Amino acid sequence: MTNQIDDNHTDTVENHIVPTIDEPMDTTNGDAADGDIVNGVTGDSEHITTAPVQESSAATNGVTPMDEDAIDPCRPEATFHYKIENFSRMKDQLLSPAHLVRNLPWKILAMLRNAPTSDRGQVRTLGFFLQCNAEADSISWSCNASAELRMLKQCPVNGDTETFSRGIQHLFFHKENDWGFSNFMSISDILDPSKGYIKDDSIILEVYVKADAPHGVSWDSKKHTGYVGLKNQGATCYMNSLLQTLYFTNKLRKAVYQMPIEHDNDEDTMSVAFALQRVFYDLQFNDKPVATKRLTKSFGWETLDVFMQHDVQELCRVLLDNMESKMKNTCVDSTIPQLFEGKMLSYIKCKSIDYVSSREETFYDIQLNIKGKKNVTESFDLYIAKETLEGDNKYDAGDHGMQEAEKGLIFLKFPPVLHLQLMRFQYDPLTDANVKINDRFEFPEEINLDKYLQQPESTPAVYRLHAVLVHSGDNHGGHYVGYIDPVGDGNWCKFDDDVVSKCTHKEAIDRNFGGHDDDISAKHSTNAYMLVYIRTSALVDVLQPIEQSDIPVTLTQRLEQEKQEEAQRRKDKNEAHLYMHVNVILEDVFHSYHGHDLFDRDKSQDIVRKFKQKRSDTISQFIETLAGALQYRPGAIRLWPFQMRQNQTFRPTTLEIPALEFSHKSIQEAADSESPWYVYVETLPVDSHLEALPHFDKSLHVCLFIKRYDAKEETLCYCGHYCFPITISISGMMPIIAAIAGFEEGTQLVLYEEVKPNLIEKINVTDGSLEKELEELMDGDILIVQREESPQHQYRKPTPKEYSRELHYQVEIVFCDKNDPLDNGFVLNLSLKNNYNTIATAVAAHLDTDPYMLQFFRNLGYKDGPGHAIKCSFDGLLKDLVPIQRSNTGRQQLKKIYYQKLSIPIAELENKRQFKCTWVSQKGKEEKELVLHPNKTGVVQELLDEAQKQVHLSPASSGKLRLLEISGCKIVSIVSPETSIESLVLQGNKSLRIEEIPVKEVSLSENEMLVTVAHFHQEVYSLFGFPFLILLVDGESLSSLKDRIRNKIDVAEKDYEKFRFCIVNMGRKTYIDTEEDYVIKISDFKPSKTGHLSSKPWLGLEHPNKAPKRSRPSYLEKAIKIHN
């Protein structure tokens, strides 16, 4: 923020930046002059919390305000003033009438203040503030604005008409709805006639305010601009600005509409193409901001992903690549390359001979280095600048030897749509972090790139600026907005997430050059980050209008159907409190079920009949609705609501409300506000001669449900129900039960009661009445009848007790492939008492494989995913692997176990130990990860033998390998082949490397030694790079050793000259390159105490680390991926 200073005051503006979800908080206080203390905060531009202020009769607006109908209340800027009469008698504070800018009320707030002086006295001053939307009830609104606060001269002195003004820039919101200067000007200066500010005891305060479109208030982007914005999900402003840019690349939008997709409801949510079609369609036809949740869901992103801000350049590449792959072999194939693909030629041309090495490459965007460059032209000049290869850096031209040459690149073709990525973020070696470059970098509205082409194209490479993507903030976060010229006519709009507003050419282009240190209306950290240019010859084609007829009818119908369904869902949600859901169960559901209780509530969603009923409907109205739907007379059906008993059984019970009250009791009362309400509907049998169901009196009757158990077949089947008089004897019930269960007359039967899962009690058949023999009998109880079996029949489950016990321990387990993250798995019904072998056999049978070729893994407790492996020697039961939790219905929830198929038997695998080693070839260039499984009881040589089967050795190799232990970019030991596998312990940053042993190093003489070599910068603990072993020969010159090391690490001679060589021992370095004729002495590298290499002296190469660096990774950072 720029400080405004005059002759009488030296004040500092205090800028409070209120963070958005995309931007970290940044509070900056300037250096204040002595005596400027305001509410304990240095500086005098501040927010003042005031009580409601009445407009004073002592002050007027000074000029006749404009007719509100004659001005645009949504105007982006305005100038208004406030005349204060009788200023010398002013008390406390005054507030001007409101003036509308961006549809918000803005007022001038004036107040009298006391300011401290340098001699510890006080001086009376005028406080001057700009107030915005102070009377609003909402707390979610915000508006960014810059303003000039002015004191007008009414009596110019000596022709001096210059006003006194000060600038502010602030984000206004409900807690800071006014901003300005508490010590704008001293009262003595105002009252001094020689200053010219007061006339007839009146002063005039004037404000010029320029405001962005507000957030969180009623702003109709469609009305003001014809376009709508995109909702921010948390930190998706970078994605929103890019999507708007792609949307206004009309030819691309048309191609997206025409992408064929399979409209499978299960696949739609994961289809990136369909999600993008939906976003583009809504942007074109909606009147309100468009949501992007379905799009990010189709990317495969989780909730955390939308709260992580990524690089818009990276997203652009990933999204275009994904779209291009989706367009392959369709009617819009090659649309992406036709729009965005250019070609360049990188070359090396020898100066003395006719030899050129070149390679043609394609590009979808161009990254321009802006550091130290004034504009796009200078960056392009740098991009194609030639590099001379000479001296020690000559080019190896093969048979022609080392040649002086020129290296560079030239463009062969520019695309119709040119994306220029400005490299605002670069690595700073001083801070060892990426920093943002906010320097001024100009870009023209029109640019000619012909001079950067190898040969002119058929049309001039003249481009017109179409979009400017702007970043505000630093390397750690910020906010993205997009400035776009939608139809290429110079009428720019600002796209700031859900808010779209018109803007000027200056706002879209000039104010985004960066380097605005002296401009209070622009933030220093706000600047262009990505530019989109369109070739003038392709403007008409790229920006072709997209009409409704250009959108496939099937897509329109599908999207409109979605909107109708969404509208219906919103309506249902708004009216949900008026309705309740009733799940109706008929007796055929019981017949198809063979478990505990009468049906499985967890699996009933597809078999119950669902009714949506008004809560206020009476029971009689509901019965009429049911009767009509089931095609019965109302008297031919009876309701039996299900009730969860204390023993966790779910059984039908009598409707407590008497039939006489059905006409005025609501179903909400009957259901006791339960939703969904489960109801068994008893119906009159089709073959019945009755007109209605027999009367049921709960004081005289009891409704029992009958099941039949077959010990031979091990089946439990539902047979029917019967309303018994409670006075009937149990022996008198048996013929009725036998008939319902389908037994022949005279069959000897045994009767049981199903009390609850795993509790079946036998009922003695006596002549006693039902109510006396079974005291706790109630409606909904279940009786199980079984033929009395002779003792010679030996059945596995002779009674329903055994059947129920086994059923109780049954559980459904989902088995998922560990190596396939998208595998939904398969379900097996197992017993919690199954052991490992039983489980493995069942899974192997399903997969048609050998149970010993499978390995199983527990499910992680806190989320779905494979956890620890289950050993084949596991002696527990299934219940120990999957702790069973029951749902709110009392049923067991599905549990997961992961598996993977093996190439070797599981017992053999468990006797092995897994190692991940890095393989490095003799040249030190080929690197890949080896996953090895040596026997736990073996030695390192076995590990090396297994590795040799997976790698390719060089022709001149010794055929032998060695294992190195690496820690912190330094080789700490050569592991002996005889070392036991069990003794290998990898902790911290230790790793293993396997490499070929050069022929010369297989057998060492007495005057030879292998020494570790490591790279470091300044401090020997600042290790980096690739460590290696070098063979030292006693008496070898240092220059010879240097040549061998250079050939090994392949470094340019110019860079190699900067290397320093030293012997490092116990953290102390001794430079050996200071002596001209230094000769290697292997005695200098022999350990003093221990034989471990880690305690031996080592050879250090000191030089700067030129490898690309980055700041320390945050737990929130990860690469952008579109998983679908």
- Residues tagged active-site: 237, 479
| Short-list 979, 971, 982, CA closest to 918 | 971
Helix or strand or coil: residue 899? strand
Q: Which of 417, 501, 440 is nearest to 143 (CA)?
A: 501
Quote the tokens at residue 1.
């923020």
Tally Cβ neighbours within 10 Å of residue 243.
23
Alpha-carbon distance of 1106 to 1009, in angstroms, equals 30
- C-beta separation of 483 from 496 below 8 A: no
DSSP state of 769: B
Which among 363, 358, 534 is positioned nearest to 449, based on CA atoms? 534
Q: Is 284 exposed, middle or buried (0-12, 13-18, 19+ CB in 10 A)?
A: middle
CA distance 1066 to 643: 79
**Backbone CA torsion sign across 1080, 1082, 1083, 1084:** positive
Are the beta carbons of 182 and 113 closer than 8 angstroms? yes
Contacts 24+ apart (CB under 8 A), 755-762: 755/647, 755/649, 756/596, 756/647, 756/648, 756/649, 757/596, 757/648, 757/649, 757/804, 757/807, 757/808, 758/804, 758/805, 758/807, 758/808, 759/804, 760/784, 760/799, 760/800, 760/801, 760/804
Tokens 């008390």, residue located: 91
DSSP β-ladder status, 77-84 and 93-95: unpaired
Other CB atoms closer than 10 Å to residue 62's CB: what's the count? 19
User: Which H/E stretch holds residue 763?
Assistant: strand 759-763
695 burial type by CB count under 10 A (0-12 exposed, 13-18 middle, 19+ buried): exposed
Give per-residue burial for 655-691: e unless 16+ CB within 10 Å, then b: bebeeeebeebbbbebbeebebbbbbbbbbeeeeeee
Q: Do residues 1053 and 394 make contact, with C-beta atoms less than 8 angstroms apart?
A: no
Dihedrals phi, psi of 535, to nearest 5 degrees: -65, 130
Q: What's the rounded Cα separation, in Å, for the pair 388 and 1077?
A: 34
Q: CA nearest 759: which of 648, 842, 850?
A: 648
What distance in Å separates the CA atoms of residue 997 and residue 931, rounded to the nearest whole number?
20
- Identify the CA nearest to 703 among candidates 749, 652, 773: 652
The DSSP code for 117 is: -
Pair 20, 40: CB distance under 8 Å? no
Distance CA 1101, CA 161 (A): 71
CA 738 to chain CA mean position, Å: 63
Helix (H) or strand (E) holding 433: strand 433-436
Residues 6+ apart with CB under 8 A from 898: 815, 816, 817, 818, 856, 857, 858, 859, 866, 867
The CA distance from 986 to 968, in Å, is 13
Report whether 740 contacts 726 (CB < 8 A): no
Task: Please give the full DSSP string across 529-546, using - where no structure is assigned.
Answer: EEEEEEEGGGHHHHT---
